[in-house]
Chains A and B, each alone.
Chain A
Amino acid sequence: MIKNFMFTSESVTQGHPDKLCDTISDAIVDQFLYQDPYSRIRAECAVSSAIVFIAARFSSEAKVDLTRAARKVIKKAGYDQPDFNESVCSILTAPNALDPGRRLTFDERSLSDEEIEKIAAKNQVTVFGYACDHTPELMPLPIMLAHRLARRLGEVRKSRELPYLMPDGRVQVGVDFRERKPVRIHSIAITASQKERGWPSMEKLKGDVREFVVAPVFGKEPVAPDSATLLFVNPDGPYMGGPTHHSGQTGRKSAVDTYGEFTRHGGKALSGKDPIRIDRVGAYAARYAAKNVVAAGLASECEVVLSYSIGITRPVSVQVQAFGTEKIPEEELNILVNRHFDFRLAGILKQFDLRRQPFDNKGKFFQRLAAYGHFGRSDMDLPWERIDKVDLLKG
């Protein structure tokens, strides 16, 4: 295995058109589950120029105004330009209401183990979970830095520290690794869209970004930019972002949602799916297991791979890998993970109470996940980020 390398991960702001679509999709999921936790909903979204396209297929008792959910997201993302804002944009919806009788109305909270065993997976899918000890959140450093910078880029616009910015932005962070440990920041590329092409000048923008975005993020970081770190701000010249300039679509940023390509991840969209979809919640369960393994000190890097098959409740295979960092043999890790983690669909729902999270979180749960990653979130109390199985694993 190559141990010395440079690795780049990317994150985007909430206002990036792709993320805008992810957020709208998840806001719709939230709305449905808020009103009816048993809702089945699949929402997909695309945005181009001033039109948002939403296709939603659902069976639910809930009555959801797809456009309102979308307009709220657009407003919250900070779009207030005359050519694209929550009231000027047009929304084309294709609501496809299916019979509410198709819902799965079991209450997982009161299901017995036998009953959980009877609820099989409905998709053929392999999902990945990962954790490593780069950061306190047990996430790969490049993606975490990218998220932090992207979030900060959004904040300075909202706080009007850099009022000339548009909500659309992208951050790429390249990190040098020695012995598979991050040692320095090689480069940072930030694309910050601005409202006016001529203002501010490239020099001022670069200076502002360095001062208001980069510097605060790296304040307390052990690995911070040094004098040789390259900083690119709008390398292609002034950038006018937003849906009027480039289009977006749900599920196109799955690397941003997961581990920044530092490890394997599913190519499918996480956003816009209700928790019955094993490709979404399976990824959460896999991360939960991997994170607990690392937190328990059994390895400093861990990947959990689950393969589900239609009609079978438990994953057909559970693979745990530690890439040579394991403190106990990988076979034992496998046994421990299998013993202590419930990877059955209803089991995951019960453990994380996923169908009721939107209600418990005032209608805003999945949509908050849509931007800045589904994993390693310190701003949310995510059930799959808990390290409550550490003691069991240490046994």
Chain B
Amino acid sequence: MVLEIHTSVKGRGRYKVEGLFGSEYLKSFLELRLPRHKGISQASASMTTGNVLVKFNSDNTHQSIQSLIQGVLKEAEENLPSAGEFPIESFGKEERGGAGIRRRIKDLLFPPEETPPPWHLMESEAVLGELSTDYYKGLNESQVAERLKQFGPNTLPEAPPRSGLQIFLGQLNSLPVYLLGAAAGVSILTGGFLDAAIIGGVVVANAIIGYFTESQAERTIHSLKTFVRPAAEVLRDGRYTLASAESIVKGDVVVLKPGVSVPADCRIVYADYLNIDESILTGESLPATKDCIPLTGENIAVADRRNMAFMGTLVTGGHGLAVVVATGQNTEIGQLQMLLGEITAPETPIERQLSKLGDQLVLMCGFVCGVVFIMGFIRGYGILQMLRTSISLAAAAVPEGLPAAATINFALGIKRMRGHGILIRQLQAVETLGAVQTVCMDKTGTITQNRMTVQRIYSGHLCVQVQNDGFKSGARNVKVAEFEEFRRLFDVCCLCSESSVEEGGGCDSVCGSPTENALIRMAMDAGIDAFRLREENERIKVHHRSESRLFMSTIHEKPDGGRILSVKGSPPEVLAMCRWQVIAGETVPLTEESLQEIETENEMMAGDALRVLGFAYKELGEDSDEEDLIDLSWVGIVGMSDPIREGVDELIRVFHRAGIDTVMITGDQHSTAQAVAEQLNIAREGALEILDSSELAAVDPALLKAIAKKVHVYSRVSPAHKLKIVQALQSAGKTVGMTGDGVNDGPALKAADIGIAMGKSGTDLAREVADVVLEQDDLEKLVLAVRDGRAIYGNVRKSVHFFLSTNLSEIMIMFSAMAMGIGFPLSVMQLLWINIISDIFPGLALSMEEAEDSVMDKPPRDPQAGLFSRDDFKRMSFESAVITAGALGAYGFGLARYGAGARAGGIAFQALTLGQLLHAFACRSDEKGLFGKNKLPPNRYLTLAMAVSLGLQALTMFFPPLRNFLGVSRLGVVDALVIGGASVLPLLINDFTKKKG
């Protein structure tokens, strides 16, 4: 059975083949035999999807290919070495007995290394052996060099940048150019060689302008990809080294740890709680748990290969070692990409919309020009003349390069943003930025500075303020180191820590996370020798804080024998493990009252937006490293402040004014989150709603979707759950921006409509999957990015608005003149002139408009809505009609005064061209007029474009050769006045009737 899946592209078809799924034999057979048929240029089959993609020439149809495949399938069945022994479906099943036979068939069909052995079924040792590599040493340099030569670099096929010639030729490959070509052809046939030459000139001029703008855009787009250079840690010559992902070869032993993007397809040979996010391949949003145990069975889907790690997937937890088994194009993702044929640069939604719009307009123009032709024919004009007029009208009226208008805008926008320190990594992001409806922000490091300073300590019954000049209780200085409980607290701060301290170094020598640094510095300020303390109490064991265990614990060997367990973490969690407390040097039971007091103190600190940590310890016996965390002694809590970054409150105000909802995500406790949210007024005018959950995954997605629409703050959320938030918001119909910098943020950044990574503090992974990278980690820049995104969208609209309304006026004038039977207001040459002069320069200049100041005072646009609404089209038609009326009026004046002929036509030509040029001013804004307080500041590009265009237009009046060439006669003063009136009046009318904001 062969089913057609995708046959809409000519010369290419994808077919579902029964039995192909999981069958290496069929895959090889199809790929080898199909291209042997005449007419089939390429065939690739996938065992993972069961599809085969065939490229064929025009002699074949989809039906004929289908039957060809069927024929090959039959052949395959007959050629099965012993059909009874292993039917096609169970080909992968036979392990030992069939291996030899299978290799034989493979050898028959293909050179041996082309089809990979089923690595996931083999023992780790066998994999290492097969690839002649070593678990402890990896490959050596010469092996790497040799294999790199043999298999090529580990890169995925990419769309090659278009050459200059391709871009130039691309300019010629469009419907309007065909029309112009036809016009030229007709001109030659009718002896109008000059006409033909001019039309040729128009085509070339158009193509040159198009070439320059587009090649610049192309350069910008290609530069998007280059600033992340993926690297991987590999074992070579027995040493771990960092190698670029490109240089990785089969047999390399790579290190997998959180944050690593798997550089190639690997077989895992060691795994310790290894978790990998494979959504890129499988669409499964939850990370898959990996191990190194060989699998058994047949037809194991990619998603179920627990001992494999695939190129492009993200390690989200644990660590492991893996042997590379496939690189580059031979990886699963490489195969997938080949199948999808998706190696051309993707079009953005606006570009797609514009090319659709362009096609519709071509049809419409064709129809109108046809009508003009028929009407002229009926009215008795010569067929040839009508043909030339109609074709040149169509050529002039068809708005060429509509999608290019968007591309150029995007490219310019990307460049401008780069100047602000905003790196755009996806062309589409520019467009999406303007449509963002909800921005989710991390608290720590994004909203706050992630610079911790200790503010308050509560230990024993004493609450101490930490200030620059020491520890204070009220106004009194306190020698905290004299209190046993404080000393204990400082000990735990120093011991239960990952920060490093140098011998004899001061506070500056502490190096580690901001929180731990602050704690050690506090202890040093109190007179504790952190270095000596840590030297004397050697650390034996450490248990890091994790999502399910909100505290860290360490065990140390004391100098006087015995061991000590130090714990620091979320106050409620630590408190729950305590049975004792240290008060006035005595270890006493932790009473209900004390518990209540400590909790109240914690809430007070958290309510003041402090990050609070609780501390406890326990004396252990010698050699004891018990993990049973009970009966600890409580020593106190410490509150640290993490100041809000400057400008964030302003940022949030701006977002709110721009109709963008803000959401804060934090791992902090509820009270801290609430205090910060209130400080920033993150809830806008509405009531603040906070979702406090460490188990977002457990919330019913439908419920979360309903809740997500209202929630402003998520507290106690781990980064891994940010994906859930993004998905919930998206399913509620929001366009979501999400900030992130860590490894665990990867999936959420990828899923968000706009993933925003921090350039400095962010991990490579975060930067790699993000759409937008803020180079200086300054969130305020996001406002600029959104503003630019909106402005760019607006500018595309302005350019297209101008193109459409002016071109429509050309059609209208010719059509109405023909309908009224008053001859041709415009000659062929004049139409072509208008096409160059009035269209291109002002249109380009409009795409350089500055953002209007009101752009951030409006709600985001509806991402589902089209570029123009029905009302917009009506408005454009109205404007065209006004311009047409002006030019027709002038023509009427000419007819009345001079009779039909070149003079009247010349007046119409000047009036229309000037009217169109001036219309650019009306297109600058949908809501701002030319006059009054609210008028826009001048756009110097438009002024320049206008000067050039008007100058050229003046030449048509004052440069006799050109005047003759265009068939324009000399104009009198009265004519000039009429032309002036007929071109300025429409602008005034269009401005006056504008709905002003």
Contact = CB atoms under 8 A, between A and B. Distances in A.
Given A65-B603, A65-B670, A94 B692 contact: no
A94 B687 contact: yes
Interface in B604-620: 604, 606-608
Interface in A42-93: 49-51, 63-68, 71, 83, 87-93
Nearest to B677: A95
Given A49-B700, A63-B671, A362-B596, A95 B603 contact: no
A65 B698 CA distance: 22
Interface in A77-127: 83, 87-97
Contacts of B671: 63-65, 68
A63 B670 contact: no
Contact of B604 (A50, A63, A71): A63
B585 to A, nearest CB: 25
B572 interface: yes
A227 to B, nearest CB: 46
B600 interface: yes
A83 B697 CA distance: 12
B703 A49 contact: yes
A87 B576 CA distance: 13
Given A66-B670, A96-B687, A87 B695 contact: yes
Contact of A92 (B593, B674, B689): B689
* SS of B interface (majority): helix
B596 A93 contact: no
A87 B694 contact: yes
B606 A63 contact: yes
A96 B690 CA distance: 11
A343 interface: no
B677 to A, nearest CB: 9
* SS of A interface (majority): mixed
A92 B695 contact: no
Contacts of B409: none
A50 B688 contact: no
A35 interface: yes
A244 to B, nearest CB: 10
Contacts of A63: 603-604, 606-608, 671, 675
A384 interface: no
Contacts of A94: 687-690
Contacts of A49: 700, 703
A373 interface: no
Contacts of B339: none
B607 to A, nearest CB: 3
Contacts of A68: 572, 599, 603, 669-671
Contacts of A89: 693, 695
Contacts of B131: none
B371 interface: no
Contacts of A65: 602-603, 606-607, 669-671
Interface residues of A, number: 27
Interface in A114-147: none
A35 B600 contact: yes
A167 interface: no
B457 interface: no
A91 B675 CA distance: 17
B696 interface: yes
A31 B601 CA distance: 12
B671 to A, nearest CB: 4
Contacts of B670: 65-68, 91, 93
A88 B607 contact: no
Contacts of A366: none
Contacts of A174: none
B357 interface: no
Nearest to B604: A63
A34 B600 contact: yes
A363 interface: yes
B971 interface: no
Interface string B566-580: 000000100000000
Contacts of A51: 699, 703, 707
B433 to A, nearest CB: 30
B427 to A, nearest CB: 38
B711 interface: yes
Contacts of B696: 90
Nearest to B713: A93
B692 A50 contact: no
A383 B631 CA distance: 38
B767 to A, nearest CB: 31
Contacts of A93: 670, 674, 689-692
Contacts of B678: 97
B698 A50 contact: yes
Contacts of B626: none
Chain B CB count within 10 A is highest, among A31, A66, A67, A96, for: A67
A260 B699 CA distance: 36
Contacts of A90: 691-693, 695-696, 698-699
A30 B516 CA distance: 35
Contacts of A88: 694-695, 698
Nearest to B717: A90
Interface in B691-732: 691-696, 698-700, 703, 707, 711, 715
Nearest to B548: A87
A65 B671 CA distance: 5
Nearest to B591: A362
B560 interface: no
B592 interface: yes
B604 A362 contact: no
A295 B319 CA distance: 73
B690 A95 contact: yes
Contacts of B608: 63
A83 B695 CA distance: 10
A362 B690 contact: no
Nearest to B686: A94
Contact of B698 (A64, A71, A83, A96): A83
Nearest to A30: B596
Contacts of A91: 670, 691-693
Interface in B387-403: none
Chain B CB count within 10 A is highest, among A51, A63, A65, for: A65
Contacts of B711: 92
Nearest to B707: A92
Nearest to A49: B700
Contacts of B603: 31, 35, 63-65, 68
Nearest to B716: A67
B508 to A, nearest CB: 34
Contacts of B703: 49, 51
Contact of B691 (A35, A83, A92, A362): A92
B987 to A, nearest CB: 54
Chain B CB count within 10 A is highest, among A50, A71, A96, for: A50
Nearest to B606: A65
Contacts of A97: 678
B16 to A, nearest CB: 41
A95 B677 CA distance: 11
Nearest to B593: A362
Contact of A50 (B607, B699, B707): B699
Nearest to A90: B693
Chain A CB count within 10 A is highest, among B693, B694, B707, B711, for: B693
A51 B599 CA distance: 23
Contacts of A64: 603, 607, 671
7 contacts: A63-B671, A64-B671, A68-B670, A90-B693, A91-B693, A92-B689, A96-B687
Given A65-B603, A83-B698, 16 more contacts: A35-B603, A50-B698, A50-B699, A51-B699, A63-B606, A63-B675, A65-B670, A68-B599, A89-B693, A90-B699, A91-B670, A91-B692, A92-B691, A93-B692, A94-B687, A95-B688
Interface of B: 572, 592-593, 596, 599-600, 602-604, 606-608, 669-671, 674-675, 678, 687-696, 698-700, 703, 707, 711, 715
The 8 closest A-B pairs by CB, nearest first: A63-B607, A90-B693, A67-B692, A67-B670, A65-B671, A91-B692, A88-B695, A363-B596
